[in-house]
Structure 1
Amino acid sequence: MSELAFENVTVRFGTRRHSTTAVAGVDLTIPHGTIVGLVGESGSGKSTLARAAVGLVPVDNGRILLNGHPIDHRARNLQMVFQDPHSALDPRMTIGESIGEALPRRMRNRRDRVAELLGLVDLSTECARQYPAQLSGGQRQRVGLARALAGEPEVIIADEITSALDVSIQGTVLNLVRDLQRRMRLSMLFISHNLAVVRYVSDFIAVMYQGRIVEHGPADEVLADPKDPYTRELLAAAADPAGQLNLGETGDTTPAH
């Protein structure tokens, strides 16, 4: 069982007299073994909610629970993959060292496990000896996924992980995410401003606007019959002239180099 739940979560920035509410009373559950896509425009509060989950910003009200218990941020059972794969990796460490650093301390045969994790994200073992600057953006994002998996998490939060990548390789990363989630039965919160991308990987979709969840449900239902005007705007923006969602980049299966 690996369920992440936000219960009436509110996050504010600034002083008590001059504060801005970034997340306002959010209730959202990521059920075991599913991908919940969280979509909304920049500034809607998506990334703030993600950062609150991993302890990078404080919660002013509400609770964030993993399997019914408050999250222990010292544990590794919740991992986050960040938008910018370059800044997320230490440029002074090799790829092998970066992934190895995230492994549980009890683990033996660490070099073998690093090689196994690289294979899971379709990278060669030779990458372990390289530095981040020697890799492409797509490769670095794959390393970010491998590093997250190294902690043996129950839940992964992926925050805009394709937005910094070239369109030509976004699809390979999305296919990899979907394949890893299905093979490993991970629970995942997948965040993007692009509804087409969210639809491609998600079992459920939550739409965020001005810090609130305005719509939530099974992906097919939300997309077939959106209730909120903002969801309908996002759907229109993601549609091609024929009225179909534009998933053009997701069809490319060329390896990312």
Structure 2
Amino acid sequence: MPELVFEDVTVRFGTRRRGTVAVDEVNLTVPAGAVVGLVGESGSGKSTLARAAAGLTPVTGGRILLDGQPLDAVRARGRRPLQMVFQDPYSALDPRMAIGASIAEAVPRGSTTAQRRAEVARLLGLVDLPPEMSTASPDQLSGGQRQRVALARALAGRPEVLVADEITSALDVSIQGAVLNMVRDLQRRMRLTMLFISHNLAVVRYVSDFVGVMHQGRIVEYGPVDDVLTDPRDPYTRDLLAAIPHAGV
């Protein structure tokens, strides 16, 4: 279980004179084996920070460390210890591939065809899908099923860190709870370090051990989730809580 650390991370789009700072000198620690919820309104920079951790968005300044080692250097050695699950389950999967093939594609090399097939069945079981679903195409699945497949595909890479970016916001309310229960159970069973991003404070409280509140590209508050959400110190955190009906989430 590695620790994920953001040290003075800045992400800028455009030029220095005419650019936009999406993430502004963020310092954030995701302790080994813990879930850190990152919450903030749209445009706060939380998804940009997640994409930077996944290597999908260049970092302008600062660095991202995994157990004290620069994450870019870890990737350069051929390791993929961090995997990301995206918000939109409809665009996360290749529509031309059966879901079993999509999951198998992410399994580390060196396995035989039979071993990959068995691993796909195991991963589908982990996300509560039957193994026979491996032959289905993404357009045959519901949104909740697609998100489960996307999670199975992320787990196929055998990550030590999982970044989940608004993974229930595109799902029907009726199935959000089941997906959240599954994610929380998998994180505990597999002892994953997890950065869980959401705009929903109730969701963050349900799945997280710690919470970071992000506003205008900066972390304005961080601490144990119950402490932050029951006794917020920053005015922005209080505003987020006040905007939710029955704010005692």
Q: How does the TM-score come out when normalised to structure 2? A: 0.95
Once the two structures are TM-superposed, the CA of residue 236 in structure 1 deviates from its matched residue by: 1.9
Write the deviation string for residues 43-66 of structure 1: whole angstroms up to 9, x where unpaired: 000000001111111111100011
Q: State the alpha-carbon separation in 1 of the partners of residues 219 and 208 from structure 2.
A: 16
Q: Does 1:107 align with 2:138?
A: no
**Residue matched to 1:84:** 88
How far is the alpha carbon of 1:110 from its aligned partner?
A: 0.6
Contact 2:230 2:248 in 1 (8 A): no
2: CA distance between counterparts of 1:160 and 1:230?
A: 20
Give 1:1-257 correspondences, 5 Å limit: 1-71=1-71, 72-73=74-75, 74-108=78-112, 109-240=115-246, 243-245=247-249
Offset at residue 106 of structure 1 (A) = 1.9
What secondary structure is seen at the aligned counterpart in 1 of 2:16? coil
Q: Greater shift after overlay, 179-188 or 100-109?
A: 100-109
Mapped contact 2:86–2:164 kept (Cα < 8 A): yes
SS state of the match for residue 5, structure 2? strand
**By how many angstroms is 1:127 displaced?**
1.2
Higher deviation after alignment, 71-80 or 47-56: 71-80
Q: Is the 8 A contact 1:100 1:114 kept in 2?
A: yes
* 1:233, distance to aligned residue in structure 2 (A): 1.3
Q: What CA distance in whole angstroms lies between the structure 1 residues aligned with 2:237 and 2:31?
A: 22
Gaps of 5+ in 1: 246-257
SS of 1:238's partner is: coil
Q: Which amino acid aligns with 2:85?
A: V
**Conservation of the 8 A alpha-carbon contact between 1:196 and 1:238:** no
TM-score by length of 1: 0.92
| Letter of the 1:213 counterpart | I
CA distance in 2, matches of 1:106, 1:236: 52
Cα separation, 1, equivalents of 2:156 and 2:193: 15
SS state at 2:243 partner:
helix
Structure 1 segments (4+ residues) deviating >6 Å:
none
Q: Structure 1 residues 102-111 or 190-199, which shifts more?
A: 102-111
Which whole-Å deviations, capped at 9, do the CAs of 1:64-120 have from their partners, x for residues lacking one? 011110113452210000000110100000000010000000234110000000000
Alpha carbons 2:102, 2:153 under 8 Å: kept: yes
1:221 counterpart letter in structure 2: D
Partners of 2:133 and 2:239 in 1: CA distance: 42
Superposition RMSD in Å: 1.0
C-alpha displacement at 1:17, in angstroms?
2.0
